[in-house]
Chain A
């Protein structure tokens, strides 16, 4: 007979069980992260010597190969992407925040969100069809453009979110003092949202720095020093990929080391972002 007391106890047991299961889900989610970090450290730290950072790639079997050109190449490509993409993205974010409510802004916002979901490899083949074919070369520029296309919707949306967090009173104060709209936005509102926007930019840059697929047929990769913007350039994620799928033990070790380097970068940026988000208008 199901007495009330029995049912009350049963409900509590069910509640405790289900909530424990959610805890189990949390553990199961965090475990792969710990495993990945542990394996990266264990397999990669051995290969992280000075040669790794300063030498060019060596043929398999030769000691002393490194990914120096990949590190520099990635930096160049990300810099190109930032130069092209950031101004447009921040301006687009301001547009979305200012024109909020208009049908155009809603449509642009929706398109930005959908663009955030376009696979990076499709962006890669698009830039190939557009720039690489036109220039008749694989190039760092094409890679930078591909990464900029990925950067655009990301930074536009985060900029918009951060600008919208700024209280109205700040902008209205500007108008009350007789400032024109552009002075108000650029001189008062934008600086107020500065740390939030910077965080969004940093996180986005860290994300595109780790992208491989868009670079596969735009930058192509390079085993030597190459600093021209219109020729194939090395990139760290590309080298990790090539080393990982190769059959050489030595290259595998370097792949792990390169991956460790990438992760360290991502970790550093994530932590910096957490500390940077000190905008006084944002709730902790």
Chain B
């Protein structure tokens, strides 16, 4: 409900039927001119968002049309990205984006969930507040700073201490983990994305967990459950759809992340045979090649890449928001 009365004070007065304001005027906020203008201004501002949204989709789509016409649906499955020869295919980027994001989610989800449970269920206040603050700070660090740290600190460390040892031990048996470990790789991108999306998933999960009614916990504890059993069996199942929503939101964030990924992924427009080899993502190819794209087909192909990225993130985010909203409704109804 609105915090202020939704009934029109003017129309509520006796004798208001004669000379009563029209329904449109009332809908816009009142019987007097100032209120109507105010209502109109607010409506206009509110409408800016959907209009802008539609405009973005239309504009990027229109700019991509040339590539769609030239390559058709084969654009998403073609692997060649050859500006000189005029052959463009988006598969390497789709592969890189999907694999690095899924890798990030696989690493980030358990950690974020553990962190959320720690903060909402377990930590005493003197510990929870600084840790929560630290998490929020992680979420606020600009992407380019993550990328900088990634290039000079994370990637060399990963190469010597994680990628090369794993490649040496398992590379022959599992081609996906084969070396040589370049350092800049899909794996590195996945790791840095994980670090970036943990605070995001955790923030939403904390809200979801906090919204679980206390009666759930108290009932389990009253029946003699340990604290872990309470969380695992009584609280989590209640919050699970919302937590999945948080995870998908994190996935959406990882899919669109540009700067940090560009700086650590190696930027090679091929589908790599191992996660320890360089790759490319939809966002990275835009960042790297857009400013120098010459020729209409090159530009249109890049726009098509952008359009794919736009579509994917819209779908993923819409799904996630619906999930979170659904859990919020269930929580309120309970």
Interface residues of A (CB under 8 A from B): 11-12, 14-16, 18-19, 21-26, 28-30, 32-33, 35-36, 39-40, 43, 87-89, 91-92, 94-101, 104-105, 107-108, 110-126, 128-130, 149, 152-153, 156, 163-164, 166-168, 170-172, 174-175, 180-182, 184-185, 189, 203, 206-207, 210-213, 216-217, 220, 237, 240-241, 244-245, 252, 255-256, 259, 262-263, 266-267, 270, 274
B328 interface contact, C-beta 8 A: no
Q: In the complex the two chains form, is A220's CB within 8 Å of B309's CB?
A: no
Q: In the complex the two chains form, is A117's CB within 8 Å of B42's CB?
A: no
Name which residue of chain A comes closest to B232, CB basis.
A18
Q: In the complex the two chains form, is A91's CB within 8 Å of B45's CB?
A: yes
The distance in angstroms between the C-alpha atoms of A129 and B286, with both chains bound, is 13
Q: How many interface residues does B have (CB within 8 Å)?
A: 97
The distance in angstroms between the C-alpha atoms of A149 and B48, with both chains bound, is 10
Those of B214-229 within 8 Å (CB) of chain A: 226-229
Q: In the complex the two chains form, is A263's CB within 8 Å of B35's CB?
A: no
Q: Which of B71-79, B138-146, B174-182 contacts A (4 or more CB under 8 A)?
A: B138-146
Q: In the complex the two chains form, is A29's CB within 8 Å of B53's CB?
A: no
B255 interface contact, C-beta 8 A: yes
Q: In the complex the two chains form, is B149's CB within 8 Å of A36's CB?
A: yes
A130 to nearest B CB, angstroms?
Answer: 6
Name which residue of chain B comes closest to A121, CB basis.
B258
Known: A97-B2, A153-B49, A167-B3. A259 touches B42 (CB 8 A): no
Known: A92-B48, A172-B5, A255-B148. A121 touches B263 (CB 8 A): no
Interface residues of B (CB under 8 A from A): 1-5, 9, 29-30, 32, 34-35, 37-39, 41-50, 52-53, 56, 59-60, 63, 110-115, 117-119, 121-123, 131, 133-138, 140-149, 151-153, 195, 198-199, 202, 226-229, 232, 249, 252-253, 255-259, 263, 283, 286-287, 290-291, 302-303, 306, 309-310, 313-314, 316-318, 320-321
6 A-B residue contacts at CB 8 Å?
Answer: A19-B228, A121-B286, A210-B142, A237-B142, A252-B152, A263-B142
Q: In the complex the two chains form, is B114's CB within 8 Å of A22's CB?
A: yes
Q: In the complex the two chains form, is B4's CB within 8 Å of A175's CB?
A: yes
Q: In the complex the two chains form, is B60's CB within 8 Å of A32's CB?
A: no
Q: In the complex the two chains form, is B290's CB within 8 Å of A217's CB?
A: yes
Known: A123-B56, A180-B35, A240-B144. A23 touches B137 (CB 8 A): no
Q: In the complex the two chains form, is A119's CB within 8 Å of B287's CB?
A: no
Q: In the complex the two chains form, is B263's CB within 8 Å of A213's CB?
A: no
Residues of B within 8 A of A18 (CB): 228, 232
The distance in angstroms between the C-alpha atoms of A63 and B118, with both chains bound, is 49
Q: In the complex the two chains form, is B144's CB within 8 Å of A212's CB?
A: yes
Q: Which of A15, A203, A252, A262 contacts B228 (CB 8 A)?
A: A15
The distance in angstroms between the C-alpha atoms of A175 and B13, with both chains bound, is 13
Q: In the complex the two chains form, is B114's CB within 8 Å of A121's CB?
A: no
Residues of A within 8 A of B149 (CB): 35-36, 39-40, 259
Q: Which of B119, B228, B303 contacts A125 (CB 8 A)?
A: B303
Q: In the complex the two chains form, is B321's CB within 8 Å of A36's CB?
A: no
Residues of A within 8 A of B47 (CB): 108
Q: In the complex the two chains form, is A211's CB within 8 Å of B53's CB?
A: no
Residues of B within 8 A of A14 (CB): 226, 228
